[in-house]
Amino acid sequence: MNFFQVGKYFTLVDMPGYGFKAPKDFVDMVEAYLKERPNLTRTFLLIDSVVGIQKADSIAIEMCEEFALPYVMVLTKIDKASKGYLAKQVLQIQEFVDTHTQGCFPQLFPVSSVTYSGIHLLRCFITYITGNLHQ
């Protein structure tokens, strides 16, 4: 796990290896961390928008649901799909969120690290939930 202190405001924890590169003890390691963090504000699950929810994503979703963690789905790589295909994927994932989750924030965040599309909205959401965006 990599910890990034964002000024004096909050800490962002990146859990690389999620998905196809996950180490064998990934679930145990992450489970212990998530269970014992009372100050955890939100968990962000990065879902590849081109392929949709995969088995590794389902395991992460089940873990968040089991521990009653508030979480958000961030749909990545939106620059890699046609607008029509992306719209279909977003609708399918949104239906999944609406019908199969309880702790998931209902708003999906489609983003691209290449074009930066959607990044501003995601940043605004993060500053809001961490108490750093005042209305």
| pLDDT band at residue 118 under the 50/70/90 scheme | very high
pLDDT digits (tens, 9 = 90+) for 73-101: 999 999 999 999 999 999 999 999 999 99
| Beta carbons within 10 angstroms of residue 130's beta carbon | 15
Whether 135 has a pLDDT exceeding 60, the answer reads: no
Residues whose CB is less than 8 angstroms from the CB of residue 108 and which lie 6 or more positions away in sequence, other chains included = 73, 74, 75, 90, 93, 94, 97
| pLDDT band at residue 20 under the 50/70/90 scheme | low
pLDDT, residue 47, reads 94
pLDDT digits (tens, 9 = 90+) for 30-78: 788 888 887 888 999 999 999 999 988 888 899 899 989 999 999 999 9
Three-class DSSP category at 7: coil
pLDDT, residue 14, reads 85
Alpha carbons 68 and 2: distance in angstroms, whole number: 23
pLDDT, residue 125, reads 94
